[in-house]
Amino acid sequence: MESRAQTYVDRGHARIWNRWIERRWSAFTGVTVSIAQAGPEVEWAAGRGAEFAVATERGVWGPMDLGEIEWSEECTASAATLVSRRFAADLELVTRTTAFHEAPGLVRAVTLRNTSPAPLEVGRVATDSFRVAGDGLRVYVRGFAERHDAIAWRTDERAAAVVCPDERGDRGLFIGQEAEGVLELLAPEPGVCACVVDVDGTLDPGEALELPASYVVPFSGEVMMASVSVLAQLLAARRATAQTRDRF
């Protein structure tokens, strides 16, 4: 993979990558088809997952309910961003996935907009959801000190880890989000990881809501060591970007 983060969109797929990770979506449905960890390459996605779910008083919206989708690309001195914009009669959902040039992982930010003429009550939102490949997966929570086979964990901690034992050394994904919520780690749905937030609020007509960002960070080796290296790099890059944005 190239040293700088990049994006690419064609008729078949939309992609974003840096030298640590690549994520690829179907350009037509906007559903993840691959999450590949570099060096050596490991495929983390096990088929197509839910991608997201937005629970409202009018039902639960997923990718197939927000049919129209537009893709765009952005690049700055520090990162590349892939933007997907989905439309329905009542709701617009914008997803911004960012890969930093000099930090591992991907950051995903979701914004909802009420496009209906009436108020819209929003409940639970899964901002990211994907199926995970691997045998003998283990989950580490509560400062990466507690091990589970699967757990739906409500927390304000920044991340958990999903680890796959490997004869070449353990490999894993840090999965987290920037505010309190639920990290669904192979539970309640087996094989699925999701970042979930409880909005429990009302969007007025035309009102937009940016939800807490989530992130996926690949690593190899021991969990604790990786948390103070690769995960810390991603969080530092995210903070620096937020501080730069706040100055303007």
Domains of the chain by range and CATH? 6-246 (2.70.98.60)
- Mean of the per-residue pLDDT values for the chain? 93
Q: What are phi and psi of 4, to 5 degrees?
A: -100, 150
pLDDT value at residue 170: 83
Checking if the pLDDT of 235 tops 80, the result is yes
pTM of the predicted model as reported, rounded to 2 decimal places = 0.93
The residue among 207, 62, 53, 52 whose CA lies nearest residue 120 is 207
Q: Mapped to the 3 state alphabet, what secondary structure does 138-164 carry?
A: EEEECCCCEEECCEEEEECCCEEEEEE
Checking if the pLDDT of 246 tops 70, the result is no
